[in-house]
């Protein structure tokens, strides 16, 4: 079973800064199956990226993703106040388990 | 577009069961695969399993096997999850989500708004 780890656990930045969030898989996985979600308090997760680098409809272009194999990155180029949230990576393949990473909390510095 | 609406919050005693609904609209329910995800207070997302809207086939995470049952009612475009023998650790928000799949990619979207289940004596 592929285990996803995310780092850092918490990232403290200011609006306007660049955020780099990491997701590492315990073994190589298909890039097509890596998704990222944003979750704000009291809300359901929101799809940001699928296939590691494809933005979901309506997602601003300041969000980008990259990576392959075991290492994936979510980058937010210039943080807006509404970007402060928890971010999860997700292995969403054709078979279970559909593992989530533990999340990175992005907080205002 | 697909929309998922879940049933309201529940408070249950330890040992009780709870049944949560997830009503789909905007899409042919039989073309949906609905997944269930648990989120304990202050914790991350935990995949529980899925149900196929067409044939009712199910798959459970090993952790939840034998403790939850997924069903669906195609006439009501609704998926259900029943959790048995609730314990305090069962206090969580439970989400349903549609797994979208094409020949290249998969993702979970949309998600229901979540159902808070509180287990308390």
End-to-end CA separation in angstroms for chain A: 36
pLDDT, chain A, mean: 96
DSSP helix/strand/coil, B88: helix
Q: Is residue B99 within 8 angstroms of chain A, CB to CB?
A: yes
B42 to chain A, any CB pair closer than 8 A? The answer is no
Quick: pLDDT tens for B57-106: 999 999 999 999 999 999 999 999 999 999 988 999 999 999 998 888 99
Residue A50 has a pLDDT of 96
A contacts of B104 (beta carbons < 8 Å) = 32, 51
Encode pLDDT of A40-93 as tens digits.
999 999 999 999 999 999 999 999 999 999 999 999 999 999 999 999 999 998
* pLDDT score of B101: 87
Q: Does B56 have pLDDT greater than 90?
A: yes
A106 pLDDT higher than 90: yes
Nearest to A24 by CA among A94, A61, A73, A63: A73
DSSP B30-77: GG-EEEEEEE-TT---EEEEEEETTT--EEE-TTTTTTEEEEEEGGGT
A1 pLDDT exceeds 90? Answer: no
Which chain A residues are within 8 Å of B47, Cβ to Cβ? 96-100
Least Cα distance to A87 among A69, A97, A67, A101 occurs for A101
Chain A nearest-CA distance from B26, in A, is 17
Mutate to test the interface with A, among B22, B37, B47, B105 (most CBs of A within 10 A): B105
Report how far apart the first and last C-alpha atoms of chain B are (Å, whole number).
41
Q: Quick count: other Cβ atoms within 10 Å of Cβ B98?
A: 25
């Amino acid at each position: 079973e592929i285990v996803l780890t995310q780092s850092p656990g918490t990232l403290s930045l200011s609006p306007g800064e660049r955020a780099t969030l990491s997701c590492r898989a315990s073994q190589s996985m298909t890039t097509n199956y890596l998704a990222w979600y944003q979750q704000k308090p009291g809300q359901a997760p929101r799809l940001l990226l699928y296939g590691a680098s494809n933005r979901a409809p309506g997602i601003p272009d300041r969000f980008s993703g990259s990576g392959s194999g075991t290492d994936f990155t979510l980058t937010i180029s210039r943080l807006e106040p509404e970007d402060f949230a928890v971010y999860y990576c997700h292995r969403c393949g054709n078979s279970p388990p559909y593992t989530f990473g533990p999340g990175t909390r992005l907080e205002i510095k | 577009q697909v929309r998922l609406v879940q049933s309201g919050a529940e408070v249950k005693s330890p040992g009780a069961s709870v049944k949560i609904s997830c009503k789909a609209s905007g899409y042919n329910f039989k073309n949906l695969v609905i997944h269930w995800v648990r989120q304990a207070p202050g914790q991350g997302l935990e995949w529980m399993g899925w149900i196929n809207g067409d044939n009712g086939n199910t798959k459970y995470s090993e952790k939840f096997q034998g403790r939850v049952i997924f069903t669906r009612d195609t006439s009501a475009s609704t998926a259900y999850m029943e959790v048995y023998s609730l314990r305090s650790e069962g206090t969580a928000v439970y989400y349903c989500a549609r797994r979208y799949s094409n020949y290249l990619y998969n993702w979970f979207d949309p998600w229901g708004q979540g159902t808070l289940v509180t287990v308390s004596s």
